[in-house]
Structure 1
């Protein structure tokens, strides 16, 4: 009896160790996948504040909350099951879908660069939405959630590509973990950015010299920060989109773009050895972003006649 109890306890201990190891593996893979998706996350963080510009300050946080909830639904209810089904039944589809998402990121980044130099194109999308405040808010929220779906799909696909050989349970746990962590991080930061000017005004009116200085810096700095975020977001779009397409082409047997990037990385490392690997990383990132910009420009050239044909 005692021997049976000891054996049972040994089995329980072994199961507990296995569970702990599995949790450690899930945590490690979740952290790794979150870092891998950082470029898309930066763009998501940069894009979202624009959806509350021009609306009542009292509605800013509720709107961000609604977009965050929509983002969680996108990731956990729609994209997570789709990713699991893809990983189990059609893992060969993951890279082509990633490349399509990367191409979309290149297109969006190139369009933003074009708008920065030549202005926003005209048409319905450039006009202010008609209707009362509630209708405008609904339009903004639905538009933000649709945009988030594309970015969330890319984040989840990037995550899945890194854990494709793991068990279904691990994939589900990592995908859910990445989805929750990134959503909380992105929309938490967005909420801070959006309310930073209000915090600054409060500090300015509080009376203390230090508070006034900090508040004044916040009020003046938030518009600059939003512009900087937009710039970083565009660069991140081009870099991530370009790197995904370059890597995907290599997997499909087209190695030349990846070889050019690798050559530039090695050359920069050799010439800038004092910077350790930072020089090589910068060179590789710049080339991938340039490739993304060229690819995005080509996609824009193809998309324009298609839009005209559809009457958009």
Structure 2
């Protein structure tokens, strides 16, 4: 009996060590994947505040929570099983789906830029009379979740590519992708919630009797509108940067190397010219080329959809 008990305990310890090793593999894979996807995460955080800017402060957190739930559904119920299935059955299709997403991001970013230069606005905006505020809010949430789907697809694709270099276990890949998806979603939308509610924090501090708290509160109240405007601009550039970058990478993957080789050539020339500080200028040059590529591509798509095919109702510009 003691021998049987010791054998059982030994088996349990082996299973426990195997489970611990699997958990460690998942954490390593998730950490590496999350690091690689950091650029897209920043873009996601920059894009989202624009969907609640100008709405009632009481509705900001509920809207962000609804977007968060939609993002989790995107990642865990659609993208995670889809990515695993495609990587198993038809891995060649992933790059074309990503390029389609890149075209959509380029289109959205270019549309926003062109609207600033006089292109008629498409869809209802806060400057238009809003007859049904609840319906308008739903449309904004749907738009945010739709954009999140594209950015999340890029995050999951980058993550899957990194995880595949660490483990070929289906379950480790699935668990690591789920971990990355959940962690990134709460990090992004937690940061967004803090950003959009910072003016409320500033108002609360400004009403305090403490002199330092009052000054900090007033500073926040003056800074937040400018920050939200800046984030809106950053979000537009981010759409173009990520969208153009996806397309450039996709063209290289399918054998059209010339555009990406030229962009990398400019990057390397900038790095060579800047010497010890080459990292940031080199990255910025490639990101700028990606954004410009996305703007040109998106502008072509805008022209075709709005002026050739006449899709989308033109809202009166104010």
TM-score w.r.t. the length of structure 1 is: 0.87
Distance in 2 of aligned mates of 1:311 and 1:136: 15
Task: Give 1:76's aligned residue.
Answer: 76
Distance in 2 of aligned mates of 1:309 and 1:231: 25
Task: Give 2:264's aligned residue.
Answer: 262
Q: Which of 284, 288, 294 is the equivalent residue of 1:286? A: 288
Contact 1:46 1:226 in 2 (8 A): no
Secondary structure, counterpart of 1:206 in structure 2? coil
Q: Give the direction of change, closer, same or farther, for the CA distance of 1:45–1:168 in structure 2 (3 Å limit).
A: same
Secondary structure, counterpart of 2:207 in structure 1? helix
Q: Give the direction of change, closer, same or farther, for the CA distance of 1:259–1:148 in structure 2 (3 Å limit).
A: closer
Q: Which runs of 5 or more structure 2 residues have no equivalent in the other structure?
A: none
Contact 1:99 1:244 in 2 (8 A): yes
Q: CA deviation at 1:282?
A: 2.3
Distance in 1 of aligned mates of 2:178 and 2:38: 16
Q: Which of 185, 191, 194 is the equivalent residue of 1:192? A: 194
Q: CA deviation at 1:14?
A: 4.8
Task: Give 2:228's aligned residue.
Answer: 226
Contact 2:80 2:177 in 1 (8 A): yes
Task: Give 1:105's aligned residue.
Answer: 105
Q: Give the direction of change, closer, same or farther, for the CA distance of 1:82–1:207 in structure 2 (3 Å limit).
A: same
Q: CA deviation at 1:136?
A: 3.9
Q: Give the direction of change, closer, same or farther, for the CA distance of 1:157–1:67 in structure 2 (3 Å limit).
A: same
Distance in 1 of aligned mates of 2:254 and 2:188: 33
Task: Give 1:303's aligned residue.
Answer: 305
Q: Greater helix percent: which structure?
A: 1
Q: Give the direction of change, closer, same or farther, for the CA distance of 1:288–1:49 in structure 2 (3 Å limit).
A: closer
Distance in 2 of aligned mates of 1:112 and 1:29: 37
Distance in 2 of aligned mates of 1:200 and 1:34: 32
Q: Which of 175, 182, 185 is the equivalent residue of 1:183? A: 185
Q: Which runs of 5 or more structure 1 residues have no equivalent in the other structure?
A: none
Q: Which of 245, 248, 254 is the equivalent residue of 2:247? A: 245
**Aligned residues, how many?**
310
Contact 2:47 2:234 in 1 (8 A): no
CA RMSD of aligned residues (A): 2.7
Distance in 2 of aligned mates of 1:250 and 1:173: 30
Q: CA deviation at 1:209?
A: 1.5
Alignment of 1:52-131 (within 5 A): 52-116=52-116, 118-119=117-118, 121-126=120-125, 127-131=128-132
Distance in 2 of aligned mates of 1:71 and 1:128: 29
